[in-house]
A and B are shown apart, each in its own frame.
Chain A
Amino acid sequence: MDKNEPKRIDELLTDDSFLQYCRGDEAEKLHWEKQMALDPALKEAAEKAKQLYELLCSELTDPAVESLTFRQLLQDKGYMNTAAPVPSIPAQRRRWIWAAASIFLLSILSGVWLYTGKKNTDPITQMQPGKPAPLQNDAAPGKNTATLILADGRSVLLDSTGNGEIANQGPTQIVKLQEGQILYKTDGSKTTDILYNTMQTPRGGQYKLILPDGTKVWLNAASSIRYPTAFTGNERRVSITGEVYFEVAKVSDPAKQGKFQPFVVEKDEMRIEVLGTYFNVNTYEDESDMKVTLLEGSVIVTSAGSEAPGVKLRPGQQASVNNTDALSITNDIDLEVVMAWKNGLFDFNRADIKAIMRQIGRWYDLEIIYEGNIPTREFSGKITRNTNLSNVLRILEQSNINFSIEGKTIMVKP
């Protein structure tokens, strides 16, 4: 036998060739079975190593991810009514969602904006319930709406009407689930053409999408994502505009012997390379920097225009790419503020009035005009996004900022 053949379990399990055998690679299987037939000691170690490998894999398997796949199977078979999936959330992530939910409830119940009480922060005082809205015009909050542009140029408006199949593209069916969510279904046959679709939300719209690989995508207002209807290459590559939150599915394709397909998000010169992970990308043109915020897992952010190599983010860190393509990292980001939009909130932490108005403009589809000297104070607080504009502005008005609305324009005055 080959003297170099490793025999210890730990040696076997650090050997890529042996792992390929464990994953069912036929060529490696022949090689290892031959070796094992020659060497009983190797056979014994290999059997144990393979068991250790399988047991570790089974312990590392996330039931939440598997159940998402199984839900799809159930739906395809139509054995049970699975019209309104509620994807379950791995336990680690529940904490901040609950935190956001409880604050959301609190702000609804009391009708107040909480304020952090930090120095130089203008506390936003309690809103008087029942006080009549001083604005003559008002605007309704944004809705779950988006336009899906298919590969052949057809576009489908997705709004709150009707669920079910909305379009066919080759072997892929596009199915609308509950409000604000669509899903790609393939019949499993191989596609030869790679078709690109684009989902875009208008100002005053948001939408959730499940990509063909199971990756979940939330689009904030005035945002878009372009993606292939099947991820066939070495990478899963998408490009975006605006603000998008990703929950990337861990894909190990059995057709490729379980090789992991990296997920890549591109925006102009910025590139984000991803493992199964959760992160938010804010690339609005009217914001000064593009920002990538990592909640869980790991991503690598690179900026083609920057001299610096890519940076690897840790959860809670934020990478910013400024208008000269320079890349920087901020630690200990307030994730609740970053993720507020996805949880249906406006959440400001020492934000100036212009930053607040940019968000309001996108969500209520309004153009913002400033008159006179606008104070440079900072505001902190939270309020639900699911409320009329007047309720949001009323609170700001108590800090001596006035507004008037005409059509789709809002005037901000001191």
Chain B
Amino acid sequence: MKNSAADITGLWENMTKGNSDAMLALYEYYYNDLLSYGIRLCGSLHTAKDAINDVFLHLAEQHKNLKPVKNVKAYLFACIRRKVFCLPYAIDKMVPIDEASAYDDAETSYEEMLVAIQQSDDIRTKIQLALAKLTERQKELIQLKYFQNLNYRQIETVTGISVKTAYNTIYNALRVLETELRGLLFSISLLFSSFL
């Protein structure tokens, strides 16, 4: 799925006119990017998910007052950052946010958001590449274990793969991921801890 800049601008414009489908298209399009960024800021999947919903709910509420923005992704990243760190910001004040005020604090500038986006894209690409190194079976079990939150017994029930085999398959998959992502984990932990 690749949307051109013009498509995104069009979706943004339609969203400001109250078109919820346009908003949901933007939501879906940027979801994984925003989630990955949010997790690196706060270290928690739940908090990051909540932040995304809060930001979009605010945009929905204020859709009539939204102005065109030159870089939708950078703007959304800045909103997520403000939400996660509870920075004094339009989201809490119920006033429209414009692009300038989104980046308007001592720590963030538009340029810094662009850097954050670049890092985020790099990390996601690396994770996708690492996941691509896994076998189908490994991917399926990783999905069940980490996304569906099944324990080994449940995995056995669902897939017919024995507890022992499932454990070994996941263990081997993680060794692959860890090897692939070792450098990445190191650099992320720096970014992450610098915000704590």
Which of A's residues lie within 8 Å of B, judged by CB? 8-11, 13-14, 16, 19, 23-24, 47-48, 50-61, 63-64, 66-67, 70-71, 73-74, 77, 79-82, 86, 88, 91, 250, 252, 254, 258-260, 262, 273, 275-276, 298, 300, 312
Q: Which residue of A19, A52, A80, A86 is within 8 Å of B185 (Cβ)?
A: A52
Flag whether B146 is at the interface (Cβ < 8 A).
yes
Q: Is the CB of A254 within 8 A of B32?
A: no
Say how far A43's CB is from chain B's closest CB, in angstroms.
11
4 A-B pairs with the lowest CB-CB distances in the bound complex, closest first: A63-B31, A10-B174, A79-B60, A80-B20
Interface residues of B in 19-75 (CB under 8 A from A): 19-21, 23-24, 27-29, 31-32, 35-36, 39, 43-46, 48-49, 52-53, 56-57, 60-61, 63
Q: Is the CB of A70 within 8 A of B27?
A: yes
Residue picked from A48, A58, A61, most chain B C-beta under 10 Å? A58
- Complex: chain B residue closest to A61, CB-CB: B35
Chain B positions within 8 Å of A262 at CB level: 154, 158
Flag whether B177 is at the interface (Cβ < 8 A).
yes
In the assembly, what is the distance between CA of A63 and CA of B177, in Å? 23
- Decide: A66 near B49, CB < 8 A? Known: A55-B39, A74-B57: yes
Give the contact stretch, choosing among B5-13, B89-97, B108-116, B123-131. B123-131
Q: Is the CB of B28 within 8 A of A259?
A: no
In the assembly, what is the distance between CA of A74 and CA of B27, in Å? 12
Binding site secondary structure of chain B: helix
In the assembly, what is the distance between CA of A261 and CA of B56, in Å? 28
In the assembly, what is the distance between CA of A252 and CA of B148, in Å? 7
Q: Is the CB of B148 within 8 A of A53?
A: no
Flag whether B85 is at the interface (Cβ < 8 A).
no
Q: Is the CB of A252 within 8 A of B149?
A: yes
Total number of B residues with any Cβ neighbor in A under 8 Å: 61
Q: Is the CB of B57 within 8 A of A79?
A: yes
In the assembly, what is the distance between CA of A50 and CA of B19, in Å? 38
Flag whether B162 is at the interface (Cβ < 8 A).
no
In the assembly, what is the distance between CA of A79 and CA of B53, in Å? 13
In the assembly, what is the distance between CA of A298 and CA of B148, in Å? 13
Q: Which residue of B28, B152, B181, B185 is within 8 Å of A63 (Cβ)?
A: B28
Flag whether B88 is at the interface (Cβ < 8 A).
no
- Complex: chain B residue closest to A14, CB-CB: B171
- Complex: chain A residue closest to B62, CB-CB: A79
Q: Which residue of B32, B175, B177 is within 8 Å of A61 (Cβ)?
A: B32
In the assembly, what is the distance between CA of A19 and CA of B145, in Å? 9
In the assembly, what is the distance between CA of A255 and CA of B26, in Å? 29
- Decide: A9 near B174, CB < 8 A? Known: A59-B36, A59-B128, A64-B28: yes
Q: Is the CB of A86 within 8 A of B178?
A: no
Interface string of B160-193 (1 = CB under 8 A from A): 1000000100110011011001000100110010
In the assembly, what is the distance between CA of A47 and CA of B144, in Å? 22
